[in-house]
Amino acid sequence: MSKARNTDPRYSKLTIGVCPDQWGVWFPDDEKQIPWEKALAEMAEAGFEYMETGPYGYFPKDARRLQKVMDDNGFTVVAGTGWGILHKADAWAETEKTFRAIAETHAAVGAEYIVHLPPMFRDEKTWEFTDDRVLSPEAWSLYVENANRLGQILKDEYGLKMVLHPHGDSHIETPDDIHRVFEATDPTYVNLCLDTGHIVYGGGDPLEMIKQYPERISYVHIKAFDVDLTRESHEKDWPFGEAVARGLSVRPPAGAPDMKSLVDALAGLDKELYVICEQDLYPCDPRLPLPNAVMTRQFLASCGLGLL
């Protein structure tokens, strides 16, 4: 019997999954990260069955090989993840090329979603500014225009649903940013990956967002951020990467949001949802992710998400 869904009818439409972020993986290739073969085996050992593949290129890009390694470890792929610039006209060709490659691989293995990670305005490793902190009206207009454009390509040509992911140090971070996106994009092609940690980091309340935008939330990253470190990081203007390195992302029940209330609110949407476990752990001791993830799953199961 699958342990990805709780048998209680209240929670039975929520499917728990995992992605490489829970194992400290942010990049396709990095000497500080766990090799994908080890991470994949440990994810299976921790009891996960549904996979969002994370940075494109961390797992094999070839669809046949990806299907085989996922099958061999008991995983169903439900989503891929892509990073792409939408607010600069000269970046569109590369963004489209990247997402077409991701879409081709993931459609072939039966995925349903593509998560669009927004470009950050500070580098994830050097923490130096690489872009304007605030977009001009023209850049913002292009951002949403290209979000619609990309979502339409993914849906119409590959049968994949695109969800935008709010993120610290990006142009979609605060509740106001998210509201602007919803006002300007077509829900046929663009919806939200509710990343509960990043919503907290951006000054929002995930439970309030579930109430406000029930139709636009179609995919979830479930994780918790330390409230005091969140506040301090904004007061001192730490780069997001520095905040993570200082311990921003914590294992529930520590941090916010309150997971029991959150799982109840998600269940209250009464629709099929993939709820993907994440914890920003880059970089981390390679011995940490497995026992940490097991404890996370145990706690979330006590809240109604999945079974032990």
Q: What is the pLDDT of residues 73-127, one digit of tens each?
A: 999 999 999 999 999 999 999 999 999 999 999 999 999 999 999 887 667 778 7
pLDDT for residue 124 = 74
Strand, helix or coil at 192? strand
* Mean of pLDDT over the chain: 96
Residue ranges per structural domain of the chain: 14-302
The percent of residues in the chain predicted with pLDDT above 90, rounded, is 92
Residue 37 Cα distances to 13, 20, 27, 75, 278, angstroms: 30, 11, 15, 13, 18
Helix or strand or coil: residue 31? coil
SS3 content of the chain, % helix, strand, coil (to 5): 40, 20, 40
Q: Quick one: which of 121, 46, 36, 106 has its CA closest to 76?
A: 106
CATH number for the segment(s) 14-302: 3.20.20.150
Helices 289-302 and 259-268 pack at an angle, to 10 degrees, of 60
What's the pLDDT score for residue 261? 98
Residue range 288-308, pLDDT digits in tens:
999 999 999 999 999 999 998
For residue 6, give Cα distances in angstroms to 77, 84, 301: 20, 35, 8
φ, ψ (nearest 5 deg) of residue 116: -95, 115
Could you tell me if 170 and 121 are in contact, meaning their C-beta atoms sit under 8 angstroms apart? yes
pLDDT tens digits, 240-270: 999 999 999 999 999 999 999 999 999 999 9
